Structure 1
Amino acid sequence: MIRFSVLDRLAATIEAVGSDQFYPVMCEYLRECMEFDNVIVVIFVGSNVPYIAHTRHDGPDVFRLVDEQYLSGAYLLDPVYHFHLKHGDAGLYRLADVAPDQFRSSRYYKWYYGRIGISDEITVFLPVSRNSTVTISMGKDTSSGTTFSQKSEDNLRKHKSVIMALLRTHWHTLDAPHLGIPGASSLADSLRQELKSAHGVSISTRQAEVALLILQGHSSPSMGLQLGVSTQTVKVFRKQLYRRCGISSQAELFSLLMPMLGKANIHNEKS
């Protein structure tokens, strides 16, 4: 069996820049830098449905719920997605670095992470344009029964500048000019279409964005910061949204829209 060195993997990654094989080869290079059980490459573009560019698992299939649950709406609660929306700095992050302080005790963590079996995760996070971010999340699961040691993390960090340079170069060579990302329209617009189709209710894109932020648990001031408008303007959009939908509470909004997120995502992928 041929044993490849980290330099061999690096050379192969450089040669793969601009090709469809870049992310699989890149992940092999990362594996030489730090041993992991599973890896997923996720590209975020604005608030669109994320694009899964590559996955690999050597143990249990920790990505079995990606299509059914994550892309169908669970990503809206994911810390890495929100770090992208906040235009977080490029770097290598553990999940705890970007998650809320009580994330591991949250219902979402138990409902999603608890079921897929990932015990530890380190993510390469790189904003590559004003609204686009490339992430590569490397995980540990039950197949190894361990977490990443500080030594392993430190070794990965030695390669940080090279990793970031490779990702940037590939993005500008291939992905940026030819995104080809399913779901190019936003989830908010797809949700609008689904609401219109299912209930004959018409809402604006901004009202749909407010609806999604409400479902994520944002307050009116927080929504204002996300949307770049005043708190009072958010309240106006919220009032309009409730009136259009014929509801009067967050609970009613949740019951109305949550079942549609998956359908809206499917519509997004077909558009």
Structure 2
Amino acid sequence: MHNLATWTQDITTVLAQPPGQPQLQALTHWLQRIAPVDHFALFLYEGSHAPLPLFHTFPAELRTTFVNDYRSGVHILDPFFLGCLFGEPDGLYSMRALSPDSFRCNHYFQAYYHRLGLSEELGYFTTPALHCRAVLSLMRGEGGEAFTEEEMRLLRNAQPVVAQVARLAWEARGEPAADAVLPTTHVRTVFSSFGEELLTRREHKIAQLLLQGYSSQQIADQLRITRGTVKVHRRNLYDKLEIGSQAEFFGLFVRELMGAGLFSRPQRRNRAQQRVEG
């Protein structure tokens, strides 16, 4: 891959394929020559719809976990999805680098990611069109080695090709549903307002940080309060939301995002009048 002529010839071969599955298949074969990868997956995030799997290399026995379970709602906790949602620029990212907490302590890992049996995952963030983001994931299975600095350098150099192929795949995908709404209109609104009618301002801020995967210590450092104070606020917000665990907290957020959360219930909205300034 150090030979410029070979590199250029390989790119030409990839782009010569028909857009969509043939071109994506050629792209993954090319990337495999840069750095060995066990699985590839290209998910499209457009509107309020579930992520659209434009391409993947999972065998049949893994598709339910890697594709169906991911699309069922857990994707809203995915650091790659959140990175796209909140404006990370196009480029190559590591799952570990985007996760704000110790990765194995992150709720996304505990609730879903550990079942994938991956040792490392990289993601190419691309923007195929306005209000549309796509991520091509490169996954190494359990026991796999970390990507080397040389592999990372070569993979970063491949970003323009990945972006072009993803854009062409987006164009070839067919029309999205007519009732699509922008993620910035829906998900960001739910994220920013989640719990605010029942919680104090400080509790609401802590709830937002929890949704992003921050630990109690990291929240304490960011807000310049003690870890014990964070735990008190966390216990209070759990009580007000009538939940008892982090899993229930994230489940409540998912239901709110889908329009079936507690904040749509009139009797709970009445309690907003009791909100205490914090």
Normalised TM-score (structure 1) = 0.62
1:117 corresponds in structure 2 to: 117
What is the 5 A alignment of 1:88-237?
88-142=88-142, 145-168=144-167, 170=168, 173-175=171-173, 178-180=174-176, 185=180, 210=190, 214=194, 219=205
Tell me: CA distance 1:218–1:167, structure 2 relative to 1, closer, same or farther (3 Å): farther
Tell me: CA distance 1:256–1:50, structure 2 relative to 1, closer, same or farther (3 Å): closer
- Count of residue pairs brought into register by the alignment: 213
The answer to which of 97-106 and 80-89 deviates more is 97-106
**Root mean square deviation, CA, Å:** 4.1
Structure 1 unaligned residues grouped into runs of 5+:
189-204, 224-247, 265-271
* Cα pair 2:91 2:156 within 8 Å, conserved: no
1:73: how far off?
Answer: 1.1
Distance 1:52 1:187 in 2: 18
Tell me: CA distance 1:28–1:105, structure 2 relative to 1, closer, same or farther (3 Å): same
* Cα pair 1:42 1:136 within 8 Å, conserved: yes
Tell me: CA distance 1:222–1:114, structure 2 relative to 1, closer, same or farther (3 Å): closer
What is the 5 A alignment of 1:52-67?
52-57=53-58, 63-67=63-67
Q: Deviations over 1:104-148 (max 9, x none)?
A: 312321231211111101111112223101210101113x63221
Residue identity (%): 19
* Cα pair 2:92 2:124 within 8 Å, conserved: yes
Q: Which amino acid aligns with 2:90?
A: A
* Cα pair 2:93 2:122 within 8 Å, conserved: yes
SS at match of 1:26: helix
Question: Is it true that 1:12 corresponds to 2:3 in the alignment?
Answer: no
* Cα pair 1:9 1:28 within 8 Å, conserved: no
Structure 2 unaligned residues grouped into runs of 5+:
1-5, 196-202, 210-238, 260-278
SS at match of 2:16: helix
* Cα pair 1:44 1:50 within 8 Å, conserved: yes
2:242 corresponds in structure 1 to: 251
Tell me: CA distance 1:151–1:63, structure 2 relative to 1, closer, same or farther (3 Å): farther
1:40: how far off?
Answer: 0.6
1:71: how far off?
Answer: 1.0
Tell me: CA distance 1:17–1:86, structure 2 relative to 1, closer, same or farther (3 Å): farther
1:30: how far off?
Answer: 1.7
* Cα pair 1:33 1:159 within 8 Å, conserved: no
Normalised TM-score (structure 2) = 0.60
SS at match of 2:57: strand
2:235 corresponds in structure 1 to: none
